[in-house]
Structure 1
Amino acid sequence: MDTDKAHAALDSVYGAGSPDALDAAYAAWAASYDSETASLGYLLPFLITAWVTRYVAAGEGPLLDAGCGTGLTGPQLKALGYSDLVGLDLSDDMLQVAAGRQTYGDLKKAMLGGPLPWPDGYFRAFFSTGVFTIGHAPASALRELVRVTKSGGHAIFTVRDQVFEIGGFRDVFVELEQAGKWRSLEESPWFRCYAVADPDAQVKTLVFEVL
């Protein structure tokens, strides 16, 4: 069953333990990622478009899909009038699938938590979903994502419940606020990642204005 395969793949990526292991886990999953996550009712790549459209007018860009994976969000945003999209992911194999969707003007391989290959204030906004989760991007990656987002732009991202407190996210939020880098606009209630499986897997969406 696709759900069994998807759960096994999730266990593999959550338990990767290092960037190289995570890259390898996604390389193994890339070809079947879309169908297997669909079997779980994975909502986040589609639901994040609601927050993007709430804060960014159609046609504005460029927008960075930080941790774009196979690029599931790209076609949804393109259909809503957002054409200036850039994708970033750590996996060549996932980026290859994303390229096939023909909705991203540029795709880059980079690891969240390290330096990003864009100048200060390059993006109108970044959005990131399913990335600040178990064994994936650290809270510290937000500093660099904010750096590449312009003043008056937006940071829109989800954080998984299991890493929210222990991963130091609140500390980074406060640090960036006190440094005058951003201000909080919205923090959603906890909600399910999957419509079908794992009802206890919860995330929240956070939105900040970059200053």
Structure 2
Amino acid sequence: MRSIFIPALIAGALLLGACGQAGTAQAPTAANAPATNAPAAGAIQISDPWARPAIAMMGDEQPAGASMGEAKPTDAMAAAQPTGAAVGGESAAMSGANGAPYLTITNTGDAADRLIKATGDIAKSIELHTVIKNGDVMEMRPVEAIEVPAKGSVKLMPGSFHVMLIGLNRDLKVGDSLDVTLQFEKAGAVPVHATVRQPE
């Protein structure tokens, strides 16, 4: 009798212990879920989007998409040619013309974000660029990302950070419009509709 009672007692204790562990297991809640730094939906806001007319690359200017270690392009955007300017008898739209939309990005969230790329069907290639001074020459250079501070803003404008449209698929004249999508590291995709106008 005693030999039967002791194993039964041990089995009962093990069963109660298993039930106790199951009872303490908790499903993930907002309180114990892993924290993220992603801004809340709508934290990235775009204001005053516009684009300059198409500019044909002329003379010995290097393509604006040249990499940091290759040829150093001049700032073709700063020496803008009229839209549709003739280049060897071709219009700007037929000669690898470039364009650039500008805008202000505001981050209302509590975490910094980064603009990491731009996409669209307006051009053969779309890159993020900045302009730097090299001696007496202003040069465009591609950048991997554009930082947008928390509770702050960054302005994409001529002579600074901008989105570069390389090899436009159509001409851009004053009054035209274009669409691009900005991709942010945390906020995701943000569509932008910009109207073409002359720089002020």
TM range (shorter): under 0.3
Q: Greater relative contact order (Cα 8 A, min sep 6): structure 1 or 2?
A: 2
Higher strand share: 2
Q: TM-score, normalised by structure 1?
A: 0.26
